Every structure is written in C-alpha cells, then in structure tokens.
Structure 1
Amino acid sequence: MAIEAVVLRQRVEDLDAAVPFYEKLTGSTASRFAFAGVSLASVGPFLLFSGPDEAAQRVAGVAATLAVADLDAAVEEAVAAGAAVVAPASPTPNGHRAVLRHPCGGVFEYVGP
C-alpha cells in the first residue's frame, strides 16, 4: 500500500470566510460539497469543514484523510497489519472511502477509487 497524499482536516466557524485564505495560501480553487451533515471545502491539501457540533465532531474525530490508489487493497493490508474497520468502504461525493482505526488508536479516512 502506498499513501499518495495526506489531506489535513480543519474545522472552521465560517466556511465562506475561511475559503479565500486557503485558496490564496495554496493557489488552489476550493471544491465545495456537503457530507454527513457538514459543509466542506477541499482546497489543496486542506479539507475545511463547518456545521453543527454533533455532525462536525464526527468529521473532526478523524485525524486525516489518506489518498490511496487502490482502496480495497489498502484496507485489506491495513487490517492484516492490525487496523480495525470503523466504517467500511462506501461511495461519497469524492469517490470511495473507508474509516480505519490504526493499532495505536488513531482514526484515519482512506479514500480512493
């Protein structure tokens, strides 16, 4: 398994106010979408999100998003190495995702085709 990119998650109070700063910082245009009760913006290596506390806490409970070339293979390898599946692979607005708890306790979202 090779991790192709890491996306940092950042909760913000006002998504509309935060996006221009991150667009300027990264030189990227934000891609906005909604998922699991929160509003999100993907800007370069950042995933900004805002929403009601309960929904935002579920998103904030994941340390980072790890992009992989083969999601099924990555999940299989991580589980074989001791990770536990928190949420199995499922479709999202940006591809497919699975959430795993690593043996050390960290929770990570894996995304890929």
Structure 2
Amino acid sequence: MAGVVAAFAYVGTVDPNAPGHYPVCPLLHYTGLYCPGCGGLRSAHAFVHGDFLTAFHDNALAVVGYPLFAVLWVVWMLRAARGRPVRIELQPVHLWILVPLLLIFTVVRNLPFGGWLHP
C-alpha cells in the first residue's frame, strides 16, 4: 500500500503534462495509436488533484480502476486481518470480460468518433 501511495504522491507532485519527466508511450510514439494505458499518468495526476472530469477524459478505464483497486485492497486487508484466506482469484469469466473490454476501449479511443477518449 505504501508503494501505491508513494507512486500516486509522486505523480501528483511531478506533472506528467510537463515534458521531460516521464517517458513517451512507445506505441503512441511509433504508431500514433493510443494503448489502454495512454493518459494513465495524466489521469492519476488529475485524480490526485480532485479534477475527476479531466482524469476521466485522460483515461476513463483508469479512473474506473482506481476505486476498484482500492476496494479490492481493503477487502484483502480485512480478510488478512481476520485470518481468512487472502486469495482473490480471477475466474475465466472475469478474463472473458476484461480482455474484450480492454480491446473495445483501445479500438474505440483510436477511431474518429472516439476522440473524446484521447488523452
């Protein structure tokens, strides 16, 4: 948890919109296509600063993932504190939902009508 908090604190402090602080996405650099993670740092920066609309615009999938990750982390910590098994396993149905969701998000954000999903 300390690592996640430290990473968010760093991204909140060092603006990814300023050039030279973070590397460029290789897929975007070489192909001009946005990957599912493109805009993730800008999204995290805006999220830390409470600008949720900008965070959602920069990477909608990441903004949905932040609270989901936090909830899963709290569930994991509570189960560990109570001495219960601490395993959260992905079932095949979860992967069958997650992979197409990532693919659809990636394709839509690279199509002309998906411009609102560009970081």
Q: What's the TM-score, normalizing by structure 1? A: 0.25
For the pair shown, the structure with the greater C-alpha radius of gyration is 2
Q: What's the TM-score, normalizing by structure 2? A: 0.24
The structure richer in strand per residue is: 1
